[in-house]
Amino acid sequence: MSQETERRRTPLYDVHNELGARMAPFGDWEMPIRYGGILQEARAVRSGAGLFDVSHMGRVEIDGPGATELLESALSVSVMNMNNGRARYNLLCDESGGIIDDCIVYRLSAEKFLLVPNASNTRAALEWLGSISSRNGSVSIVEVTASTAMIACQGPDAIGMAQRLSADDLRRIRPFRATSTTIAGVDARIARTGYTGEDGFEIMPRAEDAPTIWRALMELGAVSCGLGARDVLRLEAGLLLHGSDMDRTTNPYEAGLGRFVEPDRDEYIAGDALRRIRDDGPTRRIAGFTMLDRGIPRADYPILKDGETVGSVTSGSPSPTLDMNIGLGYVPIALAEPGTRIDIQIRGRPVGARIAAIPFYRRQRRERTTRSA
C-alpha cells in the first residue's frame, strides 16, 4: 500500500475534491492546501469570511472523577475554576519545560473536558496524558477525532453567517466560550475560537454532518480556504505554530507565552522547571520582523547582526494584508526590541530587516451587533 493511500482523510475530503482543491500531504493527513491562490484566500478571510477544514486537529475527551486532577498536573494553566463552556489556551510541557504541544481545553461539564491538540502532536499528547493518568484518580481518555469533524469559519462576516443557520443566538457566545447548538439543521458543538486573528467560530459536528455545514456556509458566501492561507493569517496575527516556532527544545518564556503559564502549583509536573526558567529569565526570545528590502524569509534562514549569525527564521511569508514580507525567529534578548536592525540571509546574501512588535496585524472591532453580548 502506498504512503498516499495510508494517509488519513477528513470527513470533508470528497467536498474538497469536488471544489477543485489542491490536496497535499500534511503529516498523516491528506489536506487541502489551496483552492485558488493562497494570498487571495487570505484576503477573503480578512474582508469577509473563510472556511477551513481543521478536522485533522486532535479531539480528546477526558472524563471522570480524576479528570480535573489529571489536567492540573498536565496543563500550563489551571482548570480548577473553569466554568462549564469555558475554553483556555494552554501548553503541554515536559518535566524540563519543553513544549510538547499547545492546545485548547474546553470544560464540558464538572468532570468532562475536551482537549484539542495539533494534528501532528495528537499522539504525543495522548502518550503524555496517559503517562500522567496513572498518578490520578479514575479518568477516561478517549480520542474522538475520527467520529467528529472541525470546521473553522473565520472573518468579519463569520458570526453573522453562522447566525443565519441557527435558531440560537450565537452572537451571545463570548470569545473562548463553547456551547452545543443546532446549525444548518444538525447538532454541533460550536466555540468562539480560531487561529487567524479574526473573529469566528470553530464548529465540531459529527463526522457525517460536516459536508452539510460546509455547503450551507458556502451558500451564504463563505470562501473555501486551504491550510496555506491559514498559515499566512496566523503569522500575520503573531500566532506561533508548533513544530516551526516552538517545540520541545523551546520553553514558554522564550516563546513569548509566559502569560499562559501558571507554574506555582504543587501538582503541576513541569512547575519546578518552569519556575527556574522564569526566575532566571530566558537568554533568547522569539521576535517578529519585517523585511526592509526585497526578499521572502523562509524557515531556517540565518538571522544576522553585524554580519554574525545570531538566530534563525522559524516562519516567514508575504503578508497580503500589510503588503510586506514578514517573519518570526529567535534572537538574543538584547536584539528583541522593536526597531532593531537585523539582516536575513537569503540565498547567500544579507537582506535588511527590522524587529517589529507582534502581532503584525490586529483586527478592527466591529459594531456591537456582531460582537458578543
pLDDT digits (tens, 9 = 90+) for 74-103: 999 999 999 999 999 999 999 999 999 999
Which residue shows C-alpha cell 458566501? 221
pLDDT band at 135 (very low <50, low <70, confident <90, very high): low
pLDDT of residue 107 exceeding 80, the answer is: yes
Alpha-helical (H) ranges within the chain are 3-6, 13-18, 38-47, 67-74, 122-133, 158-163, 210-219, 227-236, 271-280
Q: Mean pLDDT across the stretch 258-277?
A: 97
Looking at residues 63-78, what average pLDDT do you find? 96
Amino acid 171: pLDDT: 95
Please answer whether residues 51 and 16 qualify as being in contact, where contact means their C-beta atoms are separated by less than 8 angstroms: no
For residue 368, pLDDT over 60 is answered with no
Checking if the pLDDT of 163 tops 90, the result is yes
pLDDT of residue 370: 28
CA-wise closest residue to 84 among 111, 115, 117, 116: 111
Average pLDDT over every residue of 299-320: 98
Higher per-residue pLDDT: 261 or 370 = 261
Nearest of 204, 108, 70, 216 to residue 148 by alpha carbon:
204
Helix (H) or strand (E) holding 368: none
pLDDT at 5: 55
Cβ-based neighbour number of residue 293 at 10 Å? 13
pLDDT above 80 (res 264): yes
Residue 136 pLDDT exceeds 80 = no
Tell me what the mean pLDDT of segment 54-68 comes to: 97
Q: In this structure, what C-alpha cell is assigned to residue 114?
A: 475536551
Residue 120 has a CB neighbour count (10 Å cut-off) of: 17
Please give the Cα distance from 355 to 362 (Å, whole number). Answer: 17
CA-nearest of 122, 142, 4 to 67 is 142
The pLDDT of residue 371 is 26
Give pLDDT, residue 365. Answer: 65
Which of 236-240, 259-263, 364-368 is predicted with the least confidence, judged by mean pLDDT?
364-368
Measured at the alpha carbon of residue 220, what is the angle toward residues 104 and 22, in degrees to the nearest 5? 65
Of the pLDDT bands very low, low, confident and very high (cuts 50, 70, 90), residue 1 is very low
Is the per-residue pLDDT at 53 higher than 90?
yes
Q: What is the pLDDT of residue 367?
A: 40
